[in-house]
């Protein structure tokens, strides 16, 4: 896994393997995220922005950093009508097969943002596409940026209200994205040298039924430690992972310090050894030539 580590202080053996930066909908620049992770004594983080590797590339351009940074990505997929998020770990950011997929998804996201803004205008909650794009900056544009524009313009008072009234699935300004299936995404992660992990399985309640399908498609792991997972849930998911031979991973899904329990950087972690388990899986997939 192309990652960097200096000799220096690794204060704990903990790894937070689910984080976002300004490259998607996080509020910290990649460099700020890494600095905060070092300050919090983490041994490793994975940068897993939605549909982009720009944050990973920004860190790689910095050269040596203070802790292990696993190059990752979070892909929004759909399975049986349910949103399913897949994490790719240890991917090569230069892999053309993944680059092509990410460009396709970025184009679709821009088209979707345009359509949502149009819908909001019809609904009497007009915001400008330019403002949404400015809020997203150079990063992946998503509903969180539209939600921020809605708050700014006074149509709603919180991000949560923006989703509840307009943007969440089933609400009037919800627009679906073209479907990406895990069956398509998982081999692409493998061909880019990575391991594929099911993110926050409880957000996709059908996971118990579709998990065998994903395993057949080459799934390598499942997120066991997550802010919303209590001890009993973690034990259940760890048992499920073991029964399918999957790596149990975990992270905070950090976007910004929101005050929500478990979601601060480093608040939901796994031992750094999990990174090696993922590396082994990815290497095995690569040897098998899973393409
Ligand atoms: P998108 O990638 O454009 O489909 O937006 C998905 C992102 O929106 C998720 O990763 C969350 O960060 C955020 N999100 C989804 N639902 C909600 C909600 N109800 N309240 C706040 N944020 C949400
Ligand atoms: Zn996000
Ligand atoms: Fe997610
Ligand atoms: Fe996430």
- What pTM was computed for the model? 0.92
pLDDT digits (tens, 9 = 90+) for 201-236: 999 999 999 999 999 999 999 999 999 999 999 999
Ligand 1 atom with the smallest distance to the CA of 112 is 3
pLDDT digits (tens, 9 = 90+) for 67-92: 999 999 999 999 999 999 999 999 99
Evaluate: CB of 50 within 6 angstroms of ligand 1. yes
| pLDDT by 10-residue block (mean), the chain, 291 residues | 49 94 96 96 97 96 92 96 96 96 96 98 98 92 96 97 96 96 98 98 96 98 97 98 98 92 96 98 82 45
Find the 173 Cα to ligand 1 centroid distance in Å.
13
Name the strands in the sheet holding 82-89, side by side, starting at the edge strand that comes first in the sequence: 247-250, 221-225, 195-198, 82-89, 68-79, 44-47, 14-19, 270-271
From CA 119, how far away is CA 250, in angstroms rounded? Answer: 36
What are the structure tokens assigned to 81, written together?
Answer: 């009508």
Q: What proportions of the chain, in percent to the nearest 5, are helix, strand and coil? A: 45, 15, 40
Backbone dihedral angles phi then psi of residue 63, each to the nearest 5 degrees? 80, -140
Find the 161 Cα to ligand 1 centroid distance in Å.
12
From CA 117, how far away is CA 173, in angstroms rounded? Answer: 8
Q: Provide the 3-class DSSP secondary structure of residue 46.
A: strand
Evaluate: CB of 142 within 6 angstroms of ligand 1. yes
Looking at the CA of 145, name the nearest ligand: 1
Please report the pLDDT score of residue 289 as a whole number: 66
Please report the pLDDT score of residue 287 as a whole number: 76
Please report the pLDDT score of residue 1 as a whole number: 52
């Amino acid at each position: 896994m192309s990652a960097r580590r200096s000799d220096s202080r690794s204060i704990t053996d903990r790894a937070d393997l689910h984080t976002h930066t300004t490259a998607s909908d996080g509020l910290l620049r990649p460099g700020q995220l890494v600095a905060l992770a070092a300050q919090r004594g983490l041994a490793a983080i994975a940068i897993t922005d939605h549909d982009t590797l720009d944050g990973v590339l920004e860190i790689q351009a910095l050269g040596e950093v203070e802790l292990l940074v696993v190059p990752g990505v979070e892909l929004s997929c759909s399975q049986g009508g349910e949103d399913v998020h897949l994490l790719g770990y240890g991917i090569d950011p230069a892999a053309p097969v993944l680059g092509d997929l990410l460009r396709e998804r970025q184009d679709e996201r821009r088209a979707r943002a345009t359509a949502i803004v149009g819908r909001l205008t019809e609904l009497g909650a007009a915001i400008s596409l330019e403002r949404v794009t400015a809020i997203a900056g150079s990063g992946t544009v998503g509903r969180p940026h539209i939600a921020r524009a809605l708050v700014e313009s006074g149509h709603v008072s919180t991000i949560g209200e923006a989703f509840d009234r307009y943007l969440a699935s089933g609400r009037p300004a919800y627009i679906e994205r073209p479907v990406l299936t895990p069956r398509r995404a998982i081999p692409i992660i493998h061909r880019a040298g990575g391991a594929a992990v099911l993110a926050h399985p409880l957000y996709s309640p059908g996971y118990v039924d579709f998990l065998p399908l994903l395993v057949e498609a080459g799934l390598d792991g499942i997120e066991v430690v997550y802010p919303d997972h209590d001890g009993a849930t973690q034990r259940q998911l760890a048992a499920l992972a073991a029964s399918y031979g999957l790596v149990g991973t975990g992270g905070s899904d950090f976007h910004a310090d929101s005050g929500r329990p478990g979601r601060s950087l480093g608040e939901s972690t796994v031992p750094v050894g999990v990174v090696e388990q993922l590396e082994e899986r990815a290497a095995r997939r690569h040897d098998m030539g899973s393409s």
